[in-house]
Amino acid sequence: MTLSSPTSPEEPWPVRTVARKIADWINRLGAVWVEGQITQISLRPGAATAFLTLRDTSADVSLTLTCSAALLRTMEPPLTDGSRVVVHGKPTFFVGRGTLSLRVDEIRAVGIGELLARIERLRRLLKAEGLFDPARKRPLPFLPNRVGLITGRASAAEHDVLTNAQLRWPAVQFEIRNVAVQGSTAVPQILEALRELDRLPEVDVIVLARGGGSVEDLLPFSDETLCRAVSACGTPVVSAIGHEPDSPLVDHVADVRCSTPTGAGKRVVPDVAEETQRIHQLRDRARRALHGWVDRERRLLDALRSRPVLADPFGPLARRAEQVELLRDRARRAVTTALNTERHALTATRSRLTTLGPAATLARGYAIVQRIEDGVDGVLRSVDEAPPGTRLRVRVVDGAIQAVVPDRAG
């Protein structure tokens, strides 16, 4: 019967059967190489077997190791808590206790050179994937509503960040998460704090802060899982790990890298004194600009008001009215003069016509008559020259008496 054979409430397996089947299945796995970090070492004086705990550097997972005490005592340098190692062993399931352990026959300490080589390989991998691309970097908010801080409890890094930020902006508010910043539990705790702060809507920026240390101490901040979590974080992240020479991989993935926690405290918030001075300067510039604009507009208005058309708007109208009245008087006089002249001319012509007309002549007792006898025209000097009783015929042409002749028919 195999481990996956079905059981039923009527035919259950006893505990020993399940434990034996699990042990048989694990024994078939064979020997494996495992890398991790030593967290606990139990080596009693005179004991033949030593017990250790090997912890994953990126997850909250551990495995119990057993090895001969002689193997542990002969290691140079001696193993200590936090040492990075590669072990070779065979998984073993203890049926009596129901526990799993790794029976180790070889332990190799991971040296600094190998750790740095691994970090360099990881750096090239993350860079090739674009996690270091400056285009992915997000700008920090000018004045964050709340600053998330992930750092060690009561650490100098926490004090530096808080002190410098509050000196620059006393009203700054922090959401602090104290975690382990070195050792096997550092990466899981930092990941959990990072996820928690990223979910808070009031946190506008997250600061990862840690003081200086050795390469081994700063290894959690070059962990691949942590680097990818920082890259995927929706909130801008500031990395302030170690001192200026230290450069863990999280520095390249974070949106902003500060060389020290002190620099991070100065970077996340503006300086209230500088901003107040800048506001005063901008206010003065605005006041001068407004006054200058008002002065220019006032001068323009004064210039416009000084122009004759605006200084005395009715003056041109009055002058034009005077000119119109003058021209009208001149026109009236000219027309009147022309009418009088024509009237006088007409009167003179009428007087001449009246004077030269036959009616005036007759009225004075004179007449010009023409006598026609035997075809010979004769002119009577006076009517008195005609014989008494002669009837006269008067010929009028165009209203004028041309001749007075005897009327022979009478």
pLDDT score for 338: 93
**Which residues on adjacent β-strands are paired with residue 377?**
372
Both 89 and 196 in one domain: the answer is: no
Q: What is the Cβ-side half-sphere exposure of residue 346, based on CA atoms within 13 angstroms?
A: 6
Both 261 and 222 in one domain: the answer is: yes
Both 264 and 141 in one domain: the answer is: yes
Both 166 and 249 in one domain: the answer is: yes
| Structural domain boundaries enclosing 188 | 130-270
- The answer to whether residue 376 sits within a structural domain is yes
- The answer to whether residue 79 sits within a structural domain is yes
- Number of domains composing the chain: 4
- The answer to whether residue 278 sits within a structural domain is no
Both 155 and 227 in one domain: the answer is: yes
Both 208 and 137 in one domain: the answer is: yes
Both 138 and 261 in one domain: the answer is: yes
pLDDT score for 394: 57
- The answer to whether residue 97 sits within a structural domain is yes
- The answer to whether residue 277 sits within a structural domain is no
Both 261 and 148 in one domain: the answer is: yes
- The answer to whether residue 116 sits within a structural domain is no
pLDDT score for 407: 53
Token digits of residue 242 = 């170690």
Residue 78 near residue 71 (C-beta atoms within 8 A): no
Both 137 and 264 in one domain: the answer is: yes
Both 367 and 264 in one domain: the answer is: no
Both 157 and 64 in one domain: the answer is: no
Token digits of residue 320 = 């034009």
State how far the Cα of 362 lies from the Cα of 367, in Å rounded to an integer.
6
Tokens 């860079």 correspond to what residue? 127
Residue 203 near residue 146 (C-beta atoms within 8 A): yes
pLDDT score for 205: 96
- The answer to whether residue 298 sits within a structural domain is no
Which regions in the chain score pLDDT beneath 50?
1-3, 375-382, 409-410
